[in-house]
Amino acid sequence: MTVIIGVLALQGDVREHLVALAAADAVARPVRRPEELAEVDGLVVPGGESTTISKLAVLFGLMEPLRARVREGMPVYGTCAGMIMLADKILDPRSGQETVGGIDMIVRRNAFGRQNESFEAAVDVKGVEDGPVEGVFIRAPWVESVGAGAEVLAEHGGHIVAVRQGNALATSFHPELTGDHRVHGLFVDMVRAYRAAESL
């Protein structure tokens, strides 16, 4: 089954996600407008600067349509800043910062440190087979806590770094920067399952 997956193309590492999704056998498209959002089966919210992505989503008229589609069950995957965007609550939000929500979790921004404290680490992710993935952590958040509906998929250094709730997936790290497309493959499978259930 061919699935169309958008990448929210307001700011951040959009191109890398488009490449990774294509490598995981999805049709990948940038999404900047509500009418483009309406045409996709799933969406990736990339890393970047969460405050900027939030403000641009409001400016481009995407925030409310995004929230509506996530509530309706559209699969969504957020990396780094995208994880912050999918959190129901941010521990230390910037003034005016909004989230899409969708995962019952509290996220701490820049929890792993500043840009010069970026690092890579092997991370075992539940649902991803054939060994750990290489996680690239760049000014990465971590999850302080999750609610009953959210499942922890990975931890690093005693902190939660990957979470899933229903059709929403989030990682603190950037799998799109490594050439290992297994996490994107997991998300593509989530989108295929969603499309199959919709067509029943």
| Rounded mean pLDDT for each run of 10 residues along the chain, 200 residues in total | 96 96 98 97 95 94 97 97 96 85 95 88 97 95 96 97 98 96 98 92
Q: Is 176 a catalytic residue?
A: yes
The closest of 101, 29, 110 to 71, measured between CA atoms, is 101
d(CA 140, CA 11): 16
Catalytic residue among 17, 156, 174, 184: 174
Q: Is 80 a catalytic residue?
A: yes
177, two tokens: 């920067």
pLDDT of amino acid 164 = 98
pLDDT of amino acid 107 = 97
19, two tokens: 């490449």
Who's near 148: CB < 8 A, 6+ residues apart? 104
Amino acid at 177: L
Q: Which H or E run includes 44?
A: strand 42-45
Cα angle 100-105-111, degrees, rounded to a multiple of 5: 95
Catalytic residue among 156, 176, 181, 184: 176
Q: Tell me the sheet residues that pair with 121.
A: 135
Q: Tell me the sheet residues that pair with 142.
A: 108
d(CA 31, CA 3): 15
pTM for the predicted model, two decimal places: 0.96
pLDDT of amino acid 92 = 79
Phi, psi of 4 (to 5 degrees): -105, 120
Q: Is 184 a catalytic residue?
A: no
Q: Is 58 helix (H, G, I), strand (E, B) or coil?
A: helix
pLDDT of amino acid 110 = 86
Give me the residue label for tokens 């229903």: 166
d(CA 65, CA 49): 21
Catalytic residue among 80, 156, 181, 184: 80
